[in-house]
Structure 1
């Protein structure tokens, strides 16, 4: 498909306005009001639902290895999950996973 420059700029502008309206509906209209407890309860699970979807492709099919699973990344992911489950802390789990990744990559060369 060939689009003219004007059409492309219209598409960009419409998508920008749409994105603004979606975000404004939450931040501008609802942002100053207290939320019901059931909404707050569901929002607690947002990061738990999104992070695995962002991280899993980087672990299973890393671009650094051409999409081939890497033992260092798989081990680091397992350590991160184990430490996170054991300590119930995100920062400590991420640091342990990063340290494991760098240590195993250093040992494997």
Structure 2
């Protein structure tokens, strides 16, 4: 694999694009208040992003060659149940990790 200037141009362009997208929303709104409806919707962003990041790791994990794994599915269900019962994101994540390690050890 070559480490020519093309890769650095691509990395810098993607970094600048990411910065500009975020700055256009956050930086330009500095000193202004968001409307109530926008603040209400922004509260749901972490709840919407986290499952999008985790779901592919549960359904198509690289560790198993892309096949579903009962241990990972069980850990995801345990985390979902803990999150629904306790309404605590960190507790659900910790419970899911513990369930994953216990299920990997048991299976």
> Do Structure 1 and Structure 2 share a fold, with TM-score over 0.5?
yes
Residue in structure 2 matched with residue 42 of structure 1 by the alignment? 41
What are the ranges of 5 or more consecutive residues in structure 2 without an aligned counterpart?
none
Quote the offset at 1:21 in angstroms: 2.0
The list of structure 1 runs, each at least 4 consecutive aligned residues, that deviate by more than 6 angstroms after superposition, is 5-8
Give the root-mean-square deviation of aligned CA atoms: 1.9
Residue correspondence of structure 1 range 96-107 to structure 2 within 5 A? 96-107=95-106
Q: How many residues align?
A: 104
Secondary structure of the 2:31 match is coil
TM value normalised by structure 2: 0.83
Cα offsets for 1:17-64 (capped at 9, x unmatched): 333322221222103221111110110111122111111110011100
Q: Max radius of gyration: which structure?
A: 1
What are the ranges of 5 or more consecutive residues in structure 1 without an aligned counterpart?
none
Aligned pair in 2 of structure 1 residues 6, 94: CA closer, same or farther (>3 Å)? closer
Aligned pair in 2 of structure 1 residues 75, 31: CA closer, same or farther (>3 Å)? same
CA distance in structure 2 between the partners assigned to 1:106 and 1:96 by the alignment: 15
CA distance in structure 1 between the partners assigned to 2:7 and 2:91 by the alignment: 45
Residue in structure 1 matched with residue 91 of structure 2 by the alignment? 92
1:28 equivalenced with 2:17 (yes/no): no
